[in-house]
Each structure stands twice: as C-alpha cells, then as structure tokens.
Structure 1
Amino acid sequence: MGQVVGKVPSDPFQNNTFLDPQPSIFSTLKKQSVTRPNNFISQFNQCISAASSRTQEYLLFKDPENKFRPSPDVLTQIFLMTYISESVSLNMTDTFNCTTMTPEQRVLLGADWVWALLEKPTKNPRIQICVQVLNLPHREDGEGSSLSQEPYSESLQMAHREASNKTMCERMVDFCTSIGKDCYALFLFLGKKNDKENIYGVLSNNFDEAIGKCNIDRAFIENFFRGSRYLHTPTGMMQAIVSKKDGDPLTLMIKFS
C-alpha cells in the first residue's frame, strides 16, 4: 500500500440530506465476528487491500498468445466481490455498508456501488461514497475477451436514452451533489496512463464546482494527478472524510495498490 505524504491538500475548487437507506445485500449472511464501531477504518483498509491485490493480479496478467484480456466488467466484479467477501467475514456491514447498483441505476446514476457509514441505532447513512470504476482506454474500447452480453432490456434501453446527454462521470457528480457534501464521488482507476499496473482514486465532494465550466470526463478526473505530491492511503482517505467539518469541501488523490 502507498504511504501518506505530507498534509491533506486544500480543495482545488472552493462552498444534508441523505440517500434513503436501502436494504443491505448482506442482511441474510451469517455473522462471523464482532465489529466495534471505532475500528471500521482498519477493517475497511483490510478489505480494500484484499480487493486491490486480487484485482491487480488480473491487471498484471499477460496471455502469451495475446488472446485473453479481462474485460472492464470482469475487473470491476473481481474488485467488488473480493471486497464484499472480506467485509462479510469481518462483520463490518452493520457499520459500513455496500450497496451495488442495478444496470439501470448504474446508467442513470453513474455509480457501480455506494459505500455508506451508518448511524447507530437508526442505520441511516451518515457519510456516503459513490464509486465509479474507470478502466484503461483499451479496455473501455472493448479490446480483448469479454463475457457475452445479452441484448439490452427495455428498462435499460430507456435508462440509456434518458442519460444520453451527460457523461457517466457527470451523472455521478449530479447524483452526489443531489445528496449533499457528505456524499463523495470516488473515481477508481484500474490503471492509468503512466502506471497501468496499479489502482488509484480521485475522491471529492466538490466536483459540482466544475459543472458548466468544463467537461467532466476521464481526462478531467485524471488531470487531478498532475502536479499533486500527495497520494493518500485508503486509511488516510477515510480518516480525512470522518474528521472533516460538516459542509467543508474535500478532494483527495489515493493509491490503492
């Protein structure tokens, strides 16, 4: 894992409602250990470490015959499934929940999944992190092997039509902005141009400042790494989020592997 260097950078943009709680996908799974409310950050880091390491194995895979390359959907599923498996084994889902999006929700909202820090005893979301996975351009273009895809359902076709006027990144920024400053957009890079073998992230609750001023797309998000001397660990990211004052902007660059 990377190391925290220096102080938390100031937000480059310059300013609470919550998403209605959804049923946990883990509600029927057997509890295996006891979770304390104050140790979810270390457990989150453990889950992220496992998910990043497992996904990186596939990022680094090279087929000698150059016939197979994991598709974007496969890489996203590997990361998410490994995270879920670890979080269930640590019994942290009553404190820090993960809700996966349906195909229609993913198109309309731009998120692959949403993490939520839950209040007790209500289990209402107190802090939310919406995650969108960004793959290397050659993966996003569909190069390499992929799982066979069935024709779009009618509901999915309708979702694509409704969301056609905005990029996936813009849809997620709109989604987070509609919730408030305690909802963060996290763009998770499975490799980037100058480092195809590692996993990075850009997190912010202030992307809405760019709406109407420029295109919010992969190039815009990846540009945050330029000139930045600070790469936080997942632990540092979560500590910065939970210690931030209500309503304050926060933007971080993170190294996950």
Structure 2
Amino acid sequence: MGQMETKPGGQRTMLKNILITPNKQRGNVIQAFSDSVLRASARVREYLEFCDPRGRFHLSPGALEEIFLMSCISRSAQLQMSDSFSCTAMSREQKVLLGADWVWTFPERHGEALEAQIVVRVLYSLDDTIPPPEAPEESLRIAEMASGQWSRPERMVRFCSSIGRDCYALFLFFGSRNDPGSISGLLSNNLHAALGKGATIDRAFLEHFFKGSMSFSTPGEMLERINQKQRNDPLTMLIRFT
C-alpha cells in the first residue's frame, strides 16, 4: 500500500489493495467484514484446538472473546471500515442485563451501506456461562435482580425484539463436542416468536437448530441475506465461521 511503480517513460502508477482502499459500497463492506470475522475465527480456533499435555494452560471464556474481538477489530481497522462497521463490547453489567457480549453495527451512510445491528452472545462447547466471581459486585447483583426471571439468551432475544427487525441475535458457538475447533452461529430476528408461544430459549433450544443440518452460510452470505431481505421479513439462518 502506498508503493509506487515506475513505468517506461517516467509514468508512475499507484499500487492499490482494493480491500484496503476505502469504499462504502455494500459489496466491499460485506467482503471486508467477512475477511475480518474469518481471520478472527481462525485465530480463536488455534486456541480452541490447543491441548496442553500437562493440563496446565486453559484460556478462560473471557480471554477467548477478547482474542476474537481484538483480531476482528484490528483487521477491520486495517481495511478502513470505521465508517461502515463498528464493534461495541458490553460491560459486565450490560452482559447481565442484555444477555449479550458485543454488538456489530452497520450504520447507513447516504444509502451506501448496510443498516443493521447484530447482537452477539458467545456459547462454549462445555458451558454457556462464565462462572461469576466469588463475591459479585453490587452493580452485578442489581443488574441480575433487574433482569427478572429471564435466562440470558432470552434477555438478548427480548432486547433485539425491542429494537426491531433490523436487529439480529447471533448465538456464536465456540467449539462443539464433536469438533472442538469449530465456530458456528445461529442468526435470527424472529426468536421472540418462540418466546410468545411459551418456549424456553436455552442452550438445548438453540442447539436444536443445528441437529441434522448440512447447510451453512458464510459470514459474507449472512450479510448478503440481511441486505436482500425486505425490511420487516423474518430471517433465521446457520453460519459457519471456520
């Protein structure tokens, strides 16, 4: 990037990397986002598949989330996506209240980009909760009490539903019992319909979507579907990140 090539006759031509050149068109947003999350997923997979023969080293769930986010944010910054994509990590209190770990936002700018929010919650192959500290801080106790009887996945679904059809819940599974290094996701803007029918949205409910499924979309295809659907249409799909 920024290098110059001298051609015969003294004409100079700028060499450009089309991914790094700022471009707000939808296609480039989708391509750059896909590149960022796939790199982040590959990075996390290295740790998910690591097995210490002596059993001394274990990354905490929080550390894995941070590795994913740092990798994703770093790559999106390299691709100069600040005007078309942002990532916001939740505070500990927000994680309790909203049931979410972070939010991906695609702001619309002059009609040249996606307009959507993807609210992400990470679940792990063996446990979908991060153990609380021995003595929770007062703010966390208050947040837990304010959340009522809802499970954290249900809190996230209700939060997304309160925003509208352009807000999607993405349950991101780090590892599975059959494939510890896999990263896959369930994306939906319609899970509140199950809540309305009295269903309990927990790990078993979410994993049921994956049973027997042979068809997974890529992160890029996920954004394509979001971009192509009518504004108020429901959308539920499975995504493979590794």
- The TM-score range, normalised by the shorter chain, is 0.7 to 0.9
* Runs of at least 5 residues in structure 1 that lack an aligned partner in the other structure: 1-31, 143-147
Q: Does 1:154 align with 2:142?
A: no
The answer to whether the Cα contact below 8 Å between 1:37 and 1:95 also exists between their aligned partners in 2 is: no
The answer to whether the Cα contact below 8 Å between 1:33 and 1:89 also exists between their aligned partners in 2 is: no
Judge which range, 70-79 or 118-127, deviates more: 118-127
Q: Secondary structure at the match of 1:242?
A: helix
CA RMSD, Structure 1 to Structure 2 (Å): 2.3
What residue number does 1:209 align with?
A: 193
Determine the C-alpha separation between the residues in 1 that align with 2:130 and 2:108. Answer: 41
Q: Which of these residues, 78, 92, 95, is aligned with residue 103 of structure 1?
A: 92
In structure 1, what residue type is equivalent to 2:207?
Answer: E
Q: What displacement does 1:137 show?
A: 1.7
Instruction: Provide the TM-score with structure 2 as the length reference.
Output: 0.84
After TM superposition, which residue ranges in structure 1, 4 or more long, deviate above 4 angstroms? Answer: 121-125, 138-142, 148-151
In structure 2, what residue type is equivalent to 1:171?
Answer: R
Determine the C-alpha separation between the residues in 2 that align with 1:208 and 1:242. Answer: 21
Q: Secondary structure at the match of 2:175?
A: strand
Q: Does 1:181 align with 2:181?
A: no
Q: Secondary structure at the match of 2:57?
A: coil
Determine the C-alpha separation between the residues in 1 that align with 2:32 and 2:147. Answer: 36
Q: Does 1:75 align with 2:75?
A: no
The answer to whether the Cα contact below 8 Å between 2:84 and 2:113 also exists between their aligned partners in 1 is: no
What residue number does 2:3 align with?
A: none
In structure 1, what residue type is equivalent to 2:186?
Answer: V
Spell out, residue by residue over 1:70-96, the C-alpha distance to the aligned partner (whole angstroms, 9 max, x if none): 111111111111111111111112111
Determine the C-alpha separation between the residues in 2 that align with 1:96 and 1:199. Answer: 21
From the superposition, tell whether residues 111 and 123 of structure 1 become closer, same or farther in structure 2 (CA, over 3 Å).
farther
Q: Secondary structure at the match of 2:182?
A: strand
Q: Secondary structure at the match of 1:115?
A: strand
Q: Which of these residues, 121, 128, 148, is aligned with residue 117 of structure 2?
A: 128
From the superposition, tell whether residues 100 and 138 of structure 1 become closer, same or farther in structure 2 (CA, over 3 Å).
closer
Q: What displacement does 1:139 show?
A: 7.5
Instruction: Provide the TM-score with structure 1 as the length reference.
Output: 0.80
Determine the C-alpha separation between the residues in 2 that align with 1:47 and 1:111. Answer: 20
From the superposition, tell whether residues 53 and 217 of structure 1 become closer, same or farther in structure 2 (CA, over 3 Å).
same
* Runs of at least 5 residues in structure 2 that lack an aligned partner in the other structure: 1-19
Task: Name the % identity.
Answer: 45
Spell out, residue by residue over 1:125-167, the C-alpha distance to the aligned partner (whole angstroms, 9 max, x if none): 821110000012257476xxxxx96853322221012225111
Judge which range, 63-72 or 183-192, deviates more: 63-72
Q: Secondary structure at the match of 2:172?
A: strand
Spell out, residue by residue over 1:34-67, the C-alpha distance to the aligned partner (whole angstroms, 9 max, x if none): 2333311000011011100100010001111012
Larger C-alpha radius of gyration, 1 or 2?
A: 2
What residue number does 2:23 align with?
A: 35
What residue number does 2:184 align with?
A: 200
Determine the C-alpha separation between the residues in 1 that align with 2:107 and 2:228. Answer: 15
Q: Secondary structure at the match of 1:88?
A: helix
What residue number does 1:239 align with?
A: 224
Q: Which of these residues, 83, 91, 100, is aligned with residue 80 of structure 2?
A: 91
In structure 1, what residue type is equivalent to 2:124?
Answer: N
Q: Which of these residues, 196, 203, 213, is aligned with residue 218 of structure 1?
A: 203
Q: What displacement does 1:222 show?
A: 1.0
Q: Secondary structure at the match of 1:195?
A: coil
Q: Which of these residues, 215, 218, 227, is aligned with residue 230 of structure 1?
A: 215
Judge which range, 228-237 or 201-210, deviates more: 228-237
The answer to whether the Cα contact below 8 Å between 1:35 and 1:90 also exists between their aligned partners in 2 is: no
